[in-house]
Structure 1
């Protein structure tokens, strides 16, 4: 299954979403999303994977093998960047929240055991990518060149309502040194409400070859995910009036931890049009380290 509707999965509490390599039918990439009540707690043996604790809504305390990190969190992904904690493989991770909240745990199977660490919200690089109706904001909290992990790559993308994101369509399903990385990818979505109405968006994935046949056109809402083992992915379309957030989680088998992509040859020209258009004035939705 490449489209996961959280409300159809029947996950036991507190799992709002629980994607594992075994369940996804691939090798490296995981994502757990927890919904915890006030006073709630969750323990995770990290086993053969590295993990990040990323607050989506609320604050928490993270204990990792005797070290404790206080995460201040945020009100929602649409209001601020957030601090986060990194947990290495072969560790015990316990998350506790005094006031409740929603927490994403992106993970990746890995070989090296790195140190447990904390990064404040003020240290998150915020990038504006694209222009015109392709404008979006990228919070590069665990991009390959901004935070050390062994395999895991993770970023947040915010797309103003009406814009096309993850565009032009691109792929990373083959290893071509210096040109393309083979990376499994998860898109996890939250869509802002407007006038009391839940939002929606759309995600497209098209086949990239005879051995890469993922083909998806999905309506997505808050809590949904799309799994991308291969294929040209994009656009991610935000409905007018409803900003779109998605968390990208990637990992793969390459010797180097890099995010190298190939644009779809029929749509790559769109990048050449960006210098002639202004960035959407609604961006950034917030700068790095903005108050929660």
Structure 2
């Protein structure tokens, strides 16, 4: 049976449904050397591609889409390329790139779409030491089948994904969603955070440090994250599930949800937002 689990950097290459023990999400990060190419074969999966550093060219249906450009995830909001099912993708990088690739099975084929930093609001969420910055390149209203994608930046010492919440059951106020947390730290050598996942109804508890390049799979459980003092944290969330409606509805831990009532009094951490809307970036679409 699937349960929340942390995979350490260097010990995982691709999270598949078989590895995670679930149904929908696949996730990988590919690093392409200058001039290197990879091909993603056409199949029943829809894909979201997020450059973490560098610029990449995706060739799709005779179009060359050039996107990305940030030096790393702390230097700017991301680009996200959505590609529908039954579509081959060839990725090439002239100068080298690190790109996250999320996939999920899709019933309906949706159009190719590039989301740029210009399309993303600079959003501060939470309050006090639970303030973080959020961008949602593939939100519920996006024309996709199942994939949902969120980027989150948390200043050192702050809590994120708080109050703890879960998306385990499909009913009013909650949706059944698998979720991955892929972590990067500004200090990639020494930085760390803590990931907690817990389920009183299942008698489950996980609380572990996470480091640059680790990933957590969350098929269920309340979950929350805190960045260690002095260590800014980034994570890329991918979510997908069986619900017929696209939603990010989550159920908060009732014991901790009232803490957010104090946020208006605490105000927003002055460090947020701390990721710029306009990195040095590139995006274009060319057709043969």
TM-score range, shorter chain: over 0.9
Q: TM-score, normalised by structure 2?
A: 0.92
Q: Does 1:186 align with 2:176?
A: no
Q: Does 1:151 align with 2:151?
A: no
Q: Does 1:246 align with 2:235?
A: yes
CA distance in 2, matches of 1:208, 1:245: 28
Instruction: Pick which of 38-47 and 51-60 moved more.
Output: 38-47
8 Å Cα contact 1:55-1:104 kept in structure 2: yes
CA distance in 1, matches of 2:42, 2:169: 28
Q: How many residues align?
A: 278
Q: Does 1:122 align with 2:111?
A: no
Q: Does 1:99 align with 2:95?
A: yes
Deviation at 1:162, TM superposition (A): 0.6
Deviation at 1:214, TM superposition (A): 5.0
Q: TM-score, normalised by structure 1?
A: 0.91
8 Å Cα contact 2:121-2:135 kept in structure 1: yes
Match of 1:269 in 2: 258
Q: Does 1:171 align with 2:161?
A: no
Match of 1:218 in 2: 208
**RMSD across aligned positions (CA):** 1.6
CA distance in 1, matches of 2:205, 2:159: 19
Superposed, 1:78-93 pairs within 5 Å as: 78-93=74-89
CA distance in 2, matches of 1:214, 1:92: 40
Match of 1:199 in 2: 191
Question: In structure 2, do the counterparts of structure 1 residues 265 and 87 end up closer, same or farther at CA, with 3 Å as the change threshold?
Answer: same
After TM superposition, the runs of 4+ consecutive aligned structure 1 residues lying more than 2 A away are: 286-292
Segments of 5+ residues of structure 2 without an aligned counterpart are: 282-288
CA distance in 2, matches of 1:189, 1:7: 13
| Residues 123-165 of structure 1, C-alpha deviations (whole Å, 9 max, x = no match) | 12231100110000001111213x3211000100000001011
SS of alignment partner, residue 47 of structure 1 = coil
Match of 1:14 in 2: none
Instruction: Pick which of 242-251 and 107-116 moved more.
Output: 107-116
2:9 aligned residue (6, 10, 13): 6
Deviation at 1:208, TM superposition (A): 4.7
Segments of 5+ residues of structure 1 without an aligned counterpart are: 10-16
| Residues 24-71 of structure 1, C-alpha deviations (whole Å, 9 max, x = no match) | 111111111111211121111142211111100000100122222111
8 Å Cα contact 1:55-1:103 kept in structure 2: yes
